[in-house]
Amino acid sequence: MPFTLPELGYAQDALEPYIDTETMTIHHGKHHAGYVSKLNAAIEGTELENSSIEELLIHLADIDPAIRTAVQNNGGGHANHSLFWKILNPAGKTDPSKGFMSLLEKNFGSFDGFKEEFSKAAATRFGSGWAWLVKQADSSLKSYSTANQDNPLTLGDTPILGLDVWEHAYYLKYQNRRPEYIENFFSIINWEVVEANFSA
């Protein structure tokens, strides 16, 4: 099987109280695992088995229409969650470095300007989707949301920070209180990883 479920890198209860253990267990072990197995099934026996997940999403439009939606949903699901686990920080709140802070200020006016724009993107995404901080082709930063499991790579951008706003990501603990989940997310962002994603 070309794609496998990555390890979380920390215990399932490590993000308490911001993200509860039961949600993490189901989210990683069932939802993410499901995207991986459905992605593998969709591309089985095709030349796409030799592609990286990034290549699949960048060149989504070139994929055989018969399996394109399956790759979009499940490949996106695999890539999005793989990024998500990494940018979460069980050690608690961190702050962007001085250098990255000035990048955020340059692109959003201030850190609070970024937070407001990102939070709005996350809160106003109707139904299921993701909020993103992306690096554009000219290295500028932008924040927006996508529907379902759509990944910014398909739009020509590189995702460096993402927040899952599917109900499966927060409903057990937060029910209909998505804004509270979004606010708490800012207490568990691993900015070191976000910055490494920007520099990669």
Interface ranges with Fe ion (CB under 5 A):
164, 166, 169
Hey, what's the torsion of the CAs at 101, 128, 180, 99, to 10 degrees?
-10
Least distance in angstroms from the C-beta of 176 to Fe ion: 17
Quote the least distance from Cβ 93 to Fe ion, whole Å. 22
Instruction: State the nearest-atom distance from the C-beta of 44 to Fe ion, in Å.
Output: 23
The residues near 63 (Cβ < 8 Å, ≥ 6 apart) are 48, 56, 71
Residue 28 Cβ, how far from Fe ion at the closest point, in Å?
9
For Fe ion, the closer CB: 29 or 179: 29
What are the Cα distances from residue 152, in Å, to 81, 119, 186, 191? 13, 17, 21, 19
**How many CA atoms are closer than 13 Å to the CA of 99, on its beta-carbon side?**
6
DSSP bridge pairs for 144: 132
Cis peptide before 6 (omega within 30 of 0): no
Ordered strands of the 158-164 beta sheet: 141-147, 129-135, 158-164
Q: CB-wise, 150 or 164, nearer to Fe ion?
A: 164
Is 81 or 135 the residue whose CB approaches Fe ion more closely? 81
Q: Which is nearer to Fe ion, 29 or 109 (CB)?
A: 29
User: Does residue 72 contact residue 48 with C-beta atoms inside 8 Å?
Assistant: no
Lookup: tokens for 82: 């793989």
Between 85 and 166, CB nearer to Fe ion: 166
| Shortest distance, position 157 Cβ to Fe ion, whole Å | 20
Q: Which is nearer to Fe ion, 80 or 108 (CB)?
A: 80
Whole-number minimum distance, CB 113 to Fe ion, in Å? Answer: 27
Q: By Cβ distance, which residue is nearest to Fe ion?
A: 164
Q: Within 10 Å of residue 6's Cβ, how many Cβ atoms?
A: 14
